[in-house]
Structure 1
Amino acid sequence: MKLNELRDQEGATHSRKRVGRGIGSGLGKTGGRGVKGQKSRSGVAIKGFEGGQMPLYRRLPKRGFVNIFGKDFNEVSIGRIQAAIDAKKLDAKATIDTEALVKAGVIRRAKDGVRVLGGGELKAKVTLDVAGASKSAIEKIEKAGGSVKLPEKAAE
């Protein structure tokens, strides 16, 4: 067998259906959609329609709620921060905040703030200005000689 003799097996490829190209094509007029009615029209989506019976998604009870005041934080481990410092993308001497992390490519875009998590090890002495940090992260940062600046909680 030669390279120019390679072919798909018989029946492996099908010719495309050209719908609505005249009565002689076998797919003219109604174009394989049957006759009339909602399903014969374009732009129809009747997912979940059960022929007049109450659909499943309406028979089941609602659960939970969406907290409209909930914050969506960027989560960054201290191991990831150390990797960026090692790669010379972050300056350990300067204060590391959201803008610095975006500029270094540690996070793609700033959401409602950055929350530092305690995964990995930290060797550099860093000052972080972030929205939140876990207890283990704060311990590891302070153990390395650094500090974490967190926003003050508003008294309620």
Structure 2
Amino acid sequence: MNLSNLKPAEGSTKTRKRIGRGTGSGLGGTSTRGHKGAKSRSGYSKKIGFEGGQMPIQRRLPKYGFKNINRIEYKPINLNVLQDLADAQKLTKIDIQTLIDAGFVSSKHLVKILGNGALTVKLDVEAHSFSKTAEAAILAVGGTATKLK
């Protein structure tokens, strides 16, 4: 065996359709486009959402809702995550950089600490926002909850 006698496996390749190469090919004439109409012409493209003249779905359904442009979106982190992180790395202070290094958030996220789980160690936590239950739980074990701007 050498490069001059290599072939693809039997049945693994197909010959492509040579459309519009004369009537003898069997694919000449209308070139598989049927007779007349916009779809047979070059340059035809259907409008997005066009349903053949039927009223399109985006016009049949009513408009509703709105998007609040003043919404501030936070990345939620629960107390049990902080507890696990403190246990694993023997930490007393958790700030945004600690959470970024641990892979919980990226530098572009705003962080909100939520109260799910229990905290058993005294922690100094810095975040952009705290829920009332989370702040109460951190203060209950003697820690501090510092809000960042």
| TM-score relative to the length of structure 2 | 0.68
**d(CA) in 2 for partners of 1:132, 1:25:** 72
Indicate whether 1:98 and 2:99 are aligned.
no
Aligned counterparts of 1:81 and 1:26: Cα–Cα separation in 2: 71
| Consecutive unaligned residues in structure 1, runs of 5 or more | 1-12
Number of equivalenced pairs: 136
Matches within 5 A, 1:6-155: 18-20=16-18, 32-34=32-34, 37-38=38-39, 44=45, 46-88=47-89, 92-94=91-93, 96-111=94-109, 113-151=110-148
Deviation at 1:99, TM superposition (A): 2.2
Q: C-alpha displacement at 1:143, in angstroms?
A: 1.7
Give the conservation status (yes or no) of the 8 Å contact 2:83–2:118.
yes
Alignment RMSD, CA only? Answer: 3.4
Q: Cα 1:86–1:30, aligned 2, differ >3 Å: closer, same or farther? A: farther
- Structure 2 unaligned blocks of 5 or more: 1-10
Contact 1:84 1:106 in 2 (8 A): no
Assess if the C-alpha contact under 8 Å between 2:85 and 2:91 holds in 1. Answer: no
Q: Distance in 1 between matches of 2:132 and 2:123?
A: 16
- 2:5 aligned partner: none
Offset, 1:110:
3.2
- Aligned residues with identical type, % of pairs: 35
Change (3 A) 1:92 1:47: same
Change (3 A) 1:123 1:16: farther
DSSP-derived class of the 2:16 partner: coil
Quote the offset at 1:106 in angstroms: 2.2
Counterpart of 1:104 in structure 2: which amino acid? A
Secondary structure of the structure 1 residue equivalent to 2:117: coil
Q: Which amino acid in the other structure matches residue 98 of structure 2?
A: A
